[in-house]
Amino acid sequence: MTQNRTRSQEYVRPLNALGADDLAVAGGKGANLGVLAAAGLPVQPGFVVTTAASRTFTDDAAIREAIERLDSHDANDTDALAETAAEIRALVKARPADDAVDRAIDEALDGAADATYAVRSSATAEDLPTASFAGQHDTYLAVAADDIVDSVRDCVASLYTDRAVAYRARSGIAHSDVEMAVVVQEMVDADAAGVLFTADPETGKRTVATVDATYGLGDTVVAGEVRADHARVARDTGEILAYDVGEKATELRLSQDGTAAVEPSTDRRESRVLTDDQLRTLVDLGGRVEALFDVPQDIEWALVDDEFVLLQSRPITSLVSLPVPRPDDDRLHVYLSLGHGQAMTDAMPPLALDVWEAVYGEVLNGFTGVDRHWITRSEGRAYMDITPFLGLRRTRAGVVETIEAVNKSAAEGTERLLVERRDEFSIGLSLATLPNLLRTTTRVLPLITRLLWEGVAPFIRGSGGIDEFVAELDEWASAQSLALLDTDEPAALVDNVFTGFSPEFVAEVSPKSMRVVIGPLAGSVLERLVPGADTTTVEAAARGNEAEVGTRMTLALGDIADVARETPTVEQAILDGQSYEEIRATDGSEPFVEAFEAFIDEFGHRAVGEFDISRPRWRDDPSGPLGIVRGNLRGEEPGAHRTRLRARKREAQAAIDELDASAGRGLLGPIRRPLVRHLLRTYRSHIHLRDEPKHAIAYVFAAWHTALQQAGEHLVDEGVLDDPDDVWFLREDELRSLVADADAAVPDIAARKREHERHSRIDAPPLITSEGEIPQADRPDVDEHTLVGTGVSGGIVEGVARIVDDPATTTLRSGEILVCPSSDPAWTPLFATAAGLVTEVGGSLTHGALVAREYGLPAVASVTDATTAIRDGQRIRVDGDAGTVELLDDESQVEDVTPGD
C-alpha cells in the first residue's frame, strides 16, 4: 500500500503542493499555477500529471530513437521535421497507459460523478520568460473522468505537433530536453472569460493593461474564433482608456456532450462583457500576479458567479525588455537605438555594448558636464538616452528630425508622445541648475559657431579643399589606429579601446565633418531655386560619381571579377567556393591576388554590420568580398559594372543640362543661372562625401576589434578562455580582472552565448521609453497584400523579390528587387544589379537610402518583417513615393530563385 501511495505521489501532484522550483516535474503551466495557488490567488483546484507519468508514454526504444533523429535534423528542414514528428505522435498514441498512472489519476479525482475536466498540456519548455509556446500544445475541455488518461496521452503526443517542433527548432531548444506534464482541473461553467495582459503588447507600455473578454468559455478568444471586447486600462489610476465592444458572434458553453457553440442574441452581442469595476478588479488581480513573477504576464481568466478565477499565467515573451540601467528618477525617459542609426540592428555581444557605452558616455558627459548613464541596453542593442534634448524647444525639433532620418514612424510616434506627455519633458531651471547650464553652454557654443561656419564656407569656396578633406580624414584615422595598437600589453590594449574619444577631439573633428551635409543642403537649395525642379531630377544630377565610397567598392569588386575571368582555373576556384588561401595557391592566380590585395588595402577595415566591433573585418576574414566577387561571376556579364556607371553619368549629365536650362529661363534667368551652376558644382563635388567619415572611422572600429581580439588570444594562452572569440562575451570589468589575474572568476560564457542567440531572434525597435512603450505612427489602413514603410528613393518598380541575409552568400540577378534586413556599405555591390530595394530598417539618410538614390532605385525602408512577409521569388511592386510594397502574387506563382543559380 505504501509503495502504491509513493508511486501515486510520483505520478500526480496537487496544484497547491507545487511551486516555482517544480518546472521539471509540473511543466511551466503547472508550476506557475502552483505559485498562484500558494499565494492565495483564485485558482481552480486540481492536480498535475507529472513528467514521470508522461514519461511512461514515451519509454520505448523506437520513440527514443525517433526523438534522437528529430534532434539531428536541420532546423530549416521542415519536411524532415514534420515527417519524424508525425512518426513520434503515432508511436505515442499507440502506447497503452501504465496501470499505476491510471490508478494515480483515478485517486486524484475529487469531483462529482458527472463532473468534467479541463486537461491542459504543461511542457517543461513552456510559459517561460524566453519561450511561451502559447498554442503549440493541445488542450482538451469538458473531458469525462474515464477519458482523462486518453487525453493525457494526447497531450504528451502534442509535444511533437508540427508547430511545437518548429517552434523549438527556431528557439534552439533540443527536442530531447523537453518533457510534458499535464494539468487537470474540474471545468468551470464560466459566465465570461478571456485574456489579460498586464502590459500593452501592441505598444509595449508597462503602465497600461489590456483585456480581451467574451461570454462563455475563453477558448474562443485564445483561438481567435471571435472578435472579443477589447479594453485598455491605466494600471496606476484604474482609468478605462478605451473599451471596444466586439461582435462576439458565438459563445462556447458547457453541455451534456462536452462543449457547444451557442449563438447569442443581438442585444447580448452588442453589450459589454465586463463593467468598469470588473475591469479594475481584474487588472488589480493581474498586478498581484505580475508582482509574484516580476515580469509582465499573459493571464487567462474566467468569471464565475461574479468572481474571477485564474486559469493560467505566463510571461509576455513578445515584449522588448526594459532598457537597463533603469533611470534613477521617476521621469519618463526616451531612448534611441544607436544601431538603427548605423543601419545595423543585429544584437551585439556584451563587450561590444560596453565599448559603445564607454565611448558615447565619455563624450556626452564631457560636453554636458554631468555624470549620467547616456547609453542603456535592451535585447543586446545599445540605446542613447535622448530625454534631455527633448526638454528644450530649440533642440527638440532637431532630435525629431534626426529620428525621422532613421525611422519616420518612430519620429511621428515621438511627436505624438511629446504632445500627449509634454509636461514630463520640461526641464526646470533654477539657481541650482544654472552653473551646469552655463558650463555646458561654454563648451558647446564654440563648437556650434565652428559648425555654422563650416556649413557656410563650402557654399562660398565651392569644390575647393575636397581632396584635402578626405586625405585628412584618412590620415587621422590611420594615426588613431596605429596609436591604439602600438603595444603588446593586453591591459594597455584594453585601456586604449575604452579611452574612446575625448570631448576636445570631437570638438576638433566635428566641424570639419560638416562637409558631409553640404551636398544634401545644396540639393535642397537647387530644388527651391530652379523653376520646375523636383527631387528626382536633383538626385539624378548627383549620379555617376566615381569618388563615392560605395561606387569605388563596387567598381573594384567588378574589376576583380573581370580579372578572375581571364584565368579560367581561378574563376572556377572562386565559383566552387574555395577559400582565399586555396585560390591564392591556384596556378595563374597572381593577377587576381594582386587586384584583391589592393582592394583589401583600401577596404579591408570594413565589414558587414561593422558597428558591431566583435565582427571580423574583411582583412581578417576576406570571405565577404570574395563572396561578392563570386556573385558577380555568376550573375554579371564582364564589364557590366562599368557600363552601368557610364549610364549613370549620362543620366547625371542630362539632369544637369535640364536644371541649367530651367535656371536660365525667365527674367531672372541671367542672374539665377550662374548661381545654379555654382550650386551644381558644389552639389556634385560634395554629395559623395556622405560616407567618407564613416569610411575613416571604420579604421578605428577595426583597431578596436583587433585590440580586444588580441586580449582574447592572450586569455586563451593563459588557459582562461577556450576560444579568442569568447572575449566578446565578457564585460569590461571582467576582462580587466582576467587580464590582471588569470585566476579571477570566469562567467558562464555558454549561458551568455545562448542569451545572445535569443537576443538575435528579437526585432528591436528604433525607439523605446523607460516604460517599455515603442513610439510609432498609426499605421495607415491598407489591405492585407500591402506592406507599409518609409519611401526613401522615389519611383515605382515591379519585379521578383530576392530575400538576402548576407550579401556575401547571395547572387542577385539583374532586375531582381533586393529585400534585406538592413544595408550598410558592405551591401552596396548588390545595389548595382538590383531593380529596387526594400529594407526592414533605415530612413532617408541611412546608407541604403543614399545609394538607392544614387543608383536611381525605387526604395522603401522600415518595412516591418519584410524578409518574412515577402517570400523569396514573389513578385512585388515597390512604390518609393508612397512608401509601400505590394505583394502581387500568391504562393503558387512564386518563381524559383534558388540562391547560386
**If you ran DSSP here, which 8-state letter would residue 893 be given?**
G
Cell of 497: 579601446
Residue 847 is a catalytic residue: yes
Neighbour-count burial of 230, counting CB atoms closer than 10 A to its CB (0-12 exposed, 13-18 middle, 19+ buried):
middle
pLDDT reported for residue 507: 65
First to last CA, the chain: 70
Answer for the pair 682, 458: CB distance below 8 angstroms, yes or no: yes
CA distances 458 to 466, 524, 555, 680, Å, are 10, 15, 28, 12
CA distances 307 to 184, 186, 191, 232, 532, Å, are 21, 16, 10, 21, 70
H/E element holding 630?
Answer: helix 623-635
CA distances 366 to 432, 439, 440, 701, Å, are 19, 10, 9, 21
pTM for this model (two decimals): 0.81
Maximum CA extent, the chain: 111
Peptide bond just before 325 cis, omega within 30 deg: yes
- Spell out the SS3 assignment of 484-532: HCCCCCHHHHHHHHHHCCCHHHHHHHHHHCCHHHHHHHHHHHHHHHCCC
Left, alpha or beta for 260 (phi > 0: left; psi -120 to 50: alpha)? Answer: beta
Mean pLDDT of successive 10-residue segments in the chain (901 residues)?
A: 54 92 92 94 94 91 90 82 89 90 89 82 67 66 90 92 81 83 90 92 91 82 73 95 86 71 78 95 97 94 94 89 91 90 88 95 77 91 91 79 80 87 70 55 60 62 75 87 94 94 68 75 89 90 89 93 96 95 95 97 92 95 92 89 92 94 91 91 86 89 97 97 97 97 96 92 88 82 82 90 81 84 73 86 72 84 88 92 85 42 36
To the nearest 10°, report the CA torsion of 684, 688, 690, 691.
180
Neighbour-count burial of 607, counting CB atoms closer than 10 A to its CB (0-12 exposed, 13-18 middle, 19+ buried):
buried
CA proximity to 885, closest of 836, 846, 826, 849? 836
CA dist., res. 301 & res. 324, Å (int): 32
Beta bridge partners of 298: 197, 314
Q: In terms of DSSP bridges, do strands 859-861 and 836-839 run parallel, antiparallel, or are they unpaired?
A: parallel
H/E element holding 40?
Answer: none
Of 137, 333, 695, 847, the active-site residue reads 847
**Beta-carbon neighbour count of residue 113 at 10 Å?**
5
Q: What are the DSSP calls for 419-458, one per residue? A: HHTGGGG-----TTTHHHHHHHHHHHHHHHHHHHHHHHHH
3-state SS class at 481: helix
CA dist., res. 96 & res. 114, Å (int): 25
Answer for the pair 673, 663: CB distance below 8 angstroms, yes or no: yes
**If you ran DSSP here, which 8-state letter would residue 900 be given?**
T
CA dist., res. 178 & res. 520, Å (int): 56
C-alpha 123 chain-centroid distance: 27
Answer for the pair 368, 781: CB distance below 8 angstroms, yes or no: no
CA dist., res. 702 & res. 611, Å (int): 10
Cell of 807: 550579401
CA dist., res. 713 & res. 709, Å (int): 6
The CA-based angle 161-164-166, given to 5 degrees, is 105
Answer for the pair 624, 618: CB distance below 8 angstroms, yes or no: yes
